[in-house]
Amino acid sequence: MKTKIMGTLAILLIGLSVAGLAYAHWVDSATIKANVTMGSITFGFTRIIAEWDAEDYESYSAKKCTASTVCTMSDRVMDVHTGHYVNKTLTFAMVNATPEYWGINKFTLDNAGTIPVKIQNITITLPAGFDLAVSIPGVQWDVKNHTTGNIVYVIWLYNETAEIDAARVTYPLAPPWVLQIHGVGIQGIIGTQIDKLGEVPVEMCVYIPETAQKCHTYTFDIQIDAIQWNKYTP
């Protein structure tokens, strides 16, 4: 009888041991809470630094041209992360232009966002009846009358580099082709990086040749595309 009781006790102890493994497994946990805030790209124009034209340039001033070039900015937007503003549109207005007249506007391209950008592409859109010919890739475009083949105006768009600034000490207000004659490099804006809240100075020049049509209004749009710096493709 004693042996039987001892055997029953052993079975109970084994059963309790197994039950302890099943029901006394202690658990605790910790939590990771994630909050991912995305950056922003808000790209546009901020400042018009300077404007000048052929009449301001020494070698042209004797012609007493009555034309003028004026630029304005519009469509102001704010970056939601930084609170900084840019303008999405720059209007380049040349009035009463004559052959051999040109106008230059110096402005800034700005990144009001938090992510660095690079200039990826420039697209020039013309109305029907005109053709675009690339003279210097990413820098100079000749616009031609589709019927006659004549160049009616020339567009220049380039970085205002330290080299250009230094050259203008010797050649004040010189247009880009004069700077080239004197060995100054003209650098396009494609590939230019603009860091967070950064800006780069850019110059745009429009030249009117002798073959432009009198009493005519020419229009064109230039779209400048910026992309996050690590997605830029040369």
Strands (DSSP E) contained in 96-211 are 102-111, 117-125, 130-136, 140-145, 151-159, 193-194, 199-207
**pLDDT score recorded for residue 109:** 98
Q: What is the mean pLDDT of residues 172-189?
A: 95
**pLDDT score recorded for residue 57:** 82
CA distances to 15, 81, 99, 158 from 129, rounded to whole Å, are: 96, 44, 20, 26
Segment 35-60, tens digit of pLDDT: 998 999 999 999 999 999 988 886 65
Whether the pLDDT of residue 180 is over 70: the answer is: yes
**pLDDT score recorded for residue 10:** 53
**pLDDT score recorded for residue 6:** 52
Q: Which amino acid does the sequence have at 197?
A: L
CA distance 1 to 39: 81
The strand order across the sheet containing 117-125 reads: 193-194, 117-125, 221-228
Segment 4-31, tens digit of pLDDT: 555 554 555 555 455 555 556 789 999 9
Location of structure tokens 């991912």: 36
Segment 119-159, tens digit of pLDDT: 999 999 999 999 999 999 999 999 999 999 999 999 999 99
Q: What is the mean pLDDT of residues 189-214?
A: 96
Q: Please, what is the Cα angle at 34 between 33 and 38, to 5 degrees?
A: 160
CA distance 132 to 175: 21
Q: What is the SS3 assignment for 185-209? A: CCCCCCCCEECCCCEEEEEEEEECC
**pLDDT score recorded for residue 200:** 97
Tell me the whole-structure pTM to 2 decimals.
0.84
**pLDDT score recorded for residue 5:** 52
Coil, strand or helix: which one is 37?
A: coil
